[in-house]
């Protein structure tokens, strides 16, 4: 089954989660692979199984992930340890994925999130895909929704 969720709705979900949980603004940004290819990312992922099969990933730079962990736990970013960073990105991914799942038709189940510490851009963007880019305090946030059947991300 195809998901029928617009990119505008995905934008809204990501911006709402980011601002409500972290109190930080998340603004849509232009897709610019040249800017991302030199960067490393911390990547959170949840999988969805059921009438729709796929995954939702949320990637951001290690510095921004640290900033997010600091905001989530009310501590200076420099004091956020790797466990805080994994927990923070995992929970943000869980919320974005869970809110996306709610928009799917039929019965679907969300996995618990897993977080990969540092990956290159190529692992954030399985080619060829479209995905949503955001910016937060000068750092990149990349949201992907990947259908298992095609291996392609979808944003409409």
Partner 1 sequence: MNVLVVDDSSAMRKIIISALNKTELRGSRTIEAATGKEGLDKFLDGNFGFILSDWNMPEMDGLEFVTRVRKVDNRVKIIMITTEGTMGKLENALDQGVDEYVVKPFTPETLDRKIKKLLGVKH
- Those residues whose C-beta lies under 8 Å from the C-beta of residue 47, and which sit 6 or more positions away, are 54, 55, 110, 111
Q: Cα(98)–Cα(46) distance, rounded to whole angstroms?
A: 9
Stretch of 4-12, 49-57, 88-96, 134-142 contacting partner 1, by CB under 8 A: 88-96
Q: Does 73 bind partner 1 (CB under 8 A)?
A: yes
Q: Cα(70)–Cα(148) distance, rounded to whole angstroms?
A: 33
Q: Which is nearer to partner 1, 90 or 139 (CB)?
A: 90
Q: Which is nearer to partner 1, 84 or 141 (CB)?
A: 84
Q: Which is nearer to partner 1, 77 or 98 (CB)?
A: 98
Q: Does 72 bind partner 1 (CB under 8 A)?
A: yes
Q: Is the peptide bond before 66 cis (omega within 30 degrees of 0)?
A: no
Q: Does 16 bind partner 1 (CB under 8 A)?
A: yes
Written as six digits, the tokens of 125 are 């963007």
User: Closest separation between CB of residue 59 and partner 1, Å?
Assistant: 17
Q: Does 101 bind partner 1 (CB under 8 A)?
A: yes
Written as six digits, the tokens of 4 are 């029928």
User: Closest separation between CB of residue 58 and partner 1, Å?
Assistant: 14
- With beta carbons less than 8 A apart as the criterion, state whether 128 and 144 touch: no
Q: Does 74 bind partner 1 (CB under 8 A)?
A: yes
């Amino acid at each position: 089954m195809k998901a029928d969720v617009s990119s505008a709705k995905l934008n809204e979900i990501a911006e709402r989660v980011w601002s409500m949980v972290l109190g930080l603004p998340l603004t849509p940004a232009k897709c610019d692979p040249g800017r991302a290819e030199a960067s490393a990312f911390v990547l959170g992922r949840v999988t969805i199984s059921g009438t729709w099969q796929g995954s939702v990933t949320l990637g951001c730079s290690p510095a921004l992930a640290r900033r997010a962990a600091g905001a989530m736990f009310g501590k200076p970013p420099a004091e956020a340890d790797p466990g805080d960073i994994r927990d923070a990105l995992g929970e943000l991914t869980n919320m974005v994925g869970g809110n996306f799942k709610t928009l799917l038709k039929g019965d679907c189940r969300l996995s618990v999130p897993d977080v990969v510490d540092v990956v290159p851009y190529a692992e954030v963007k399985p080619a060829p895909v479209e995905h949503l880019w955001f910016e937060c305090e000068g750092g990149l946030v990349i949201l992907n929704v990947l259908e298992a059947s095609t291996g392609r991300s979808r944003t409409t």
